[in-house]
Structures are given as C-alpha cells and as structure tokens.
C-alpha cells in the first residue's frame, strides 16, 4: 500500500482549497470584465474619464458664451452621468478660459493637457489659436466649428464640429429667398467681424449669393472689431447706402447695436436675419425686444417651440441640473450639443478608449444629428467636403415671443466649386 507523506498531503489539501476559492471568485466576475475599463490613456481610470472645456469666460466674447456654454455643457454631462456615464465611467471635467483671445488659446489648451484630460471641447471663436498645438498632442477636440478653417482641414483630423463646418471655411450656398421676398427686402447691408475668418468669409459669401438671387448689396463690411457696440459710423454708412435689410454674421451684442443705431438714423428695416440673438437673454432685454419686432433670427437647433422629444429632454435637463427654464440661446445650445458630440466620441471609442480610437471611430460616423436636435446630420467621414445643402431654422420675434417660420428647416443648395 502506498503511503503519502503527511506534509505532502497537507500541501495538496491546501492547494485544493485555494483552487476551489479561485474558481469560485472567477465564476462571479461579470462576463467581459477582464477586458473592460483597463485603458491607460490620459484621464482614464476604471471608474472615471476626465475631459476639458475651453470657452471665453472673460473678454469680448464672454457675454455670448457665459453662462450658456459652460452651463449647457454641465447639464448634458450631468444627464449622462445620471444614466451611468460611458461604459460605467463617470465623466469629470475641468474648465479653462481663453479670455476671448487667440493668444491665450494655446495657454488654456496646454493647461488642460497638463492636467491630464482625455479630450477637449473647445467652444470659442478663438479655438484656432490652439488648433496646431492640440493636433500635435493628438488630443481629440470637439466644438462648434465657428472660428477658423482648421475644422475642415485634412491636417486636423482630430477636430470635430457639431454641425457641418461651413462656418469654419464657408463655401457658398444659394440664398433661400422664401422669407426675403415675403418681407419685401431689396437692398442689403452684410456685416462680418475682421478677426474671425468664419464671420468675414461667411459675410463675403452671403453678399455674392444675395446679388445672384436678385438683391442689391450696396454695403458690405467684413472688418468690424469683434464684439463691438460702437457702430454709429456704420449705421450712418448703411443709411447713406439706402439699405432696407441686413444679414449679420456676428454676435448678439453687435447685432442689437446695429439694429438700434440703424433705426435711429431712420432706416426702416424690411428684413434682418440675426445669427445669434435668439434666446432668453434677448427676451429679457426690453430694448432688444422693442428694436427687433418682426425681425428674423437664426436658430442653431430644432426650435424648442416645436416641442420635439429632443427639445423636451434638453429643457428638462437644463431645469434639473442648472435651474434654467428659458429659451436656449447660442451659448446654451453650443454647450449642450458639443457635450453631446463629446459623449458620442467616448461611446464609439470603446470600453478601453484611447485618443486614437476616439478619433478613428468618430470619423466613421456618417450621420450624427444629436438625437434630432440638428437641422441636418453631420458626416464626420467627409469633414473636408461641404454638404450639398446648408439647412437651418429661422424664427420671427412678434411681441414677446419667438415663432418658428416653419416646422421643417429651410435649406439652401451648395454652389459647386466654391
């Protein structure tokens, strides 16, 4: 008969107990857990992922960005975290101020990279000041794409704009004359900012399209200082040019100053489309309301007045996470939509995200419309090619309320070769 060594028997018994314990532990691990949440990319832990927001909290653009952009961003991130985050990771974020200056843009971006963010939402007219630095760092960037041509450049594959980036490097689109003819418009002033490539180029293109549509454009000014309200001389020049309508590719403060100064010089406005004035801040300004009766306003998203599922969810989140119950203006919309795009990028990056997987996989998304908020979907695979149509919503101010001019977006066809 074979006799086992006592010590050996004890060792075998202990090993058997340990093996059973290991098997029991492993059997309790959820399927896929061994490969999930193990990324070593910057800003990523098993339970959180750190991102950055850069916008203009001070300086000439602060009144347009603050508080809308950071609060709209916060509401979207808070909502996503309440739903479990992304792959079980809660989204944490830090905010930097570019001080409304392209010279401070890289400083703000470097501060966030130093603090270890995974990706950045850069929502400011001055993002172009940090574009090269962030491209060299390989950092994914989302934003509104309304500052410069980098959003549509093959050199900046890491940059994703919430809407087709015709703001950044604008091709020319035909003028949709539906509202213009209804209002009786004849002679246009077209205005843009000198420091902003998107603003000045969009204004120049608008002037050409208006002329080709049969309207006169006796006054074109693409050199206004950014955010200026000192527009008396411009109003007098518009009056001398005998304009009756205006298209302004500028911010709300300057828009209001131009409309008011124009009225004071005796201009009887027939048609004015204001790019960014729509929102609660405008309604809360008695002078703005009085000066813009029956004028038209561009809206970046599906108007909340249409009460779609997407707008209802958006407004509910604004109320719950920030206490805001008004109409979302340019800043609120940009903050909300750019956060939504950032979340989409994190989702397609996978359970173990890298900056490269964020960029590569988001470039494969061909139809993103932010749950129906956008007037037209964005194709990130063809970001260097302008879409065949430029679509958007327009609202008219009557009394103390905005009214959508249609339940569907108005679209204008691309002029090929521009």
Contact indicator for 303, 395 with CB cutoff of 8 Å:
yes
User: Looking at residue 13, what is its pLDDT?
Assistant: 41
Instruction: For the domain made up of 178-299+393-413, give the CATH fold.
Output: Rossmann fold (3.40.50)
pLDDT band at 4 (very low <50, low <70, confident <90, very high): very low
Name beta bridge partners: 173: 414
Run of H or E residues at 55: strand 48-55
pLDDT band at 387 (very low <50, low <70, confident <90, very high): confident
Name beta bridge partners: 142: 121, 160
Taking residues 169-180, what's their average pLDDT?
A: 82
- Looking at the chain, the domain(s) classified CATH 3.40.50.2300 span 48-163+306-385, 178-299+393-413
Cis amide bond preceding 67, omega within 30: yes
Nearest to 121 by CA among 298, 112, 46, 176: 112
User: Looking at residue 413, what is its pLDDT?
Assistant: 87
pLDDT band at 165 (very low <50, low <70, confident <90, very high): low
Nearest to 37 by CA among 353, 406, 248, 346: 353
- Token pair 């306003």 is found at 297
Nearest to 125 by CA among 107, 106, 143: 143
Nearest to 54 by CA among 300, 335, 328: 335
Nearest to 332 by CA among 314, 307, 312: 314
Homologous superfamily in CATH for domain 48-163+306-385: Response regulator (3.40.50.2300)
φ/ψ (deg, to 5) at 206: -60, -40
Contact indicator for 363, 349 with CB cutoff of 8 Å:
no
Query: CA 239, 214, 251, 383: dihedral to nearest 10 degrees?
Result: -160
Name, in order, each residue with C-beta under 8 angstroms of 369's C-beta and a sequence gap of 6 or more.
Answer: 376, 377, 378
Residue-averaged pLDDT of the chain? 87
> Does residue 189 sit in helix, strand or coil?
strand
Q: What percent of the chain has pLDDT over 70?
A: 88
Nearest to 269 by CA among 383, 199, 162, 189: 189
Query: CA 205, 209, 211, 214: dihedral to nearest 10 degrees?
Result: -170
pLDDT band at 163 (very low <50, low <70, confident <90, very high): confident
17-26, 65-74, 349-358, 390-399: segment of lowest average pLDDT: 17-26
> Does residue 369 sit in helix, strand or coil?
coil
Name, in order, each residue with C-beta under 8 angstroms of 255's C-beta and a sequence gap of 6 or more.
Answer: 248, 274, 275, 276, 277
Contact indicator for 345, 362 with CB cutoff of 8 Å:
yes
**Cα–Cα distance list, 338 to 24, 145, 156, 194, 395 (Å):** 45, 10, 17, 25, 22
**Cα–Cα distance list, 369 to 74, 125, 145 (Å):** 20, 22, 15
- Rounded CA-CA distance 23/17 in Å is 10
Instruction: Check residue 30 and report its DSSP letter.
Output: P
- Say yes or no to pLDDT of 293 above 80: yes
């Amino acid at each position: 008969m074979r006799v086992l060594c006592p010590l050996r028997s004890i060792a075998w018994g202990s090993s058997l107990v340990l093996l059973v314990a290991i098997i029991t532990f492993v059997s309790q691990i959820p399927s896929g857990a061994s490969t999930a949440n193990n990324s070593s990319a910057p800003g990523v832990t098993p339970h959180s992922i750190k991102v950055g927001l850069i916008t203009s909290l001070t300086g000439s653009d602060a009144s347009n960005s603050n508080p809308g952009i950071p609060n709209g961003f916060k509401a979207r991130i808070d909502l996503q975290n309440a739903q479990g985050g992304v792959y079980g990771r809660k989204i944490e974020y830090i905010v930097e101020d570019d001080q409304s200056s392209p010279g401070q843009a890289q400083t703000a971006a470097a501060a966030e990279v130093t603090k270890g963010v995974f990706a950045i939402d850069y929502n400011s007219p001055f993002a172009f000041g940090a574009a090269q630095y962030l491209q060299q760092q390989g950092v994914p960037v989302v934003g509104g794409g309304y500052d410069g041509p980098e959003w549509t450049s093959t050199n900046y594959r890491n940059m994703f704009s919430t809407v087709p980036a015709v703001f950044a490097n604008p091709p020319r689109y035909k003028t949709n004359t539906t509202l213009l003819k209804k209002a009786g418009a004849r002679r246009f002033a077209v205005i843009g900012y000198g420091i902003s490539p998107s603003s000045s180029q969009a204004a120049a293109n608008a002037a050409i399209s208006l002329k080709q549509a049969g309207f006169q454009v006796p006054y074109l000014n693409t050199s206004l200082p950014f955010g200026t309200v000192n527009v008396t001389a411009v109003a007098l020049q518009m009056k001398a040019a005998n304009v009756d309508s205006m298209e302004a590719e500028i911010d709300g403060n300057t828009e209001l100053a131009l409309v008011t100064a124009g009225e004071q010089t005796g201009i009887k406005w027939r048609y004015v489309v204001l790019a960014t004035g729509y929102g609660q801040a405008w309604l809360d300004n008695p002078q703005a309301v009085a000066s813009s009766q029956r004028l038209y306003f561009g809206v970046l998203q599906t108007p909340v007045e249409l009460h779609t599922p997407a707008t209802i969810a958006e407004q509910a989140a604004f109320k719950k996470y920030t206490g805001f119950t008004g109409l979302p203006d340019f800043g609120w919309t940009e903050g909300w939509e750019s956060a939504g795009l950032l979340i989409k990028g994190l989702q397609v990056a996978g359970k173990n995200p890298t900056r490269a997987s964020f960029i590569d996989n988001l470039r494969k998304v061909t139809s993103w419309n932010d749950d129906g908020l956008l007037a037209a979907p964005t194709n990130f695979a063809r970001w260097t090619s302008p879409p065949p149509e430029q679509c958007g919503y327009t609202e008219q101010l009557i009394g103390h309320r905005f009214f959508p001019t249609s339940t569907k977006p108005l679209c204008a066809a691309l002029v090929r070769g521009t």
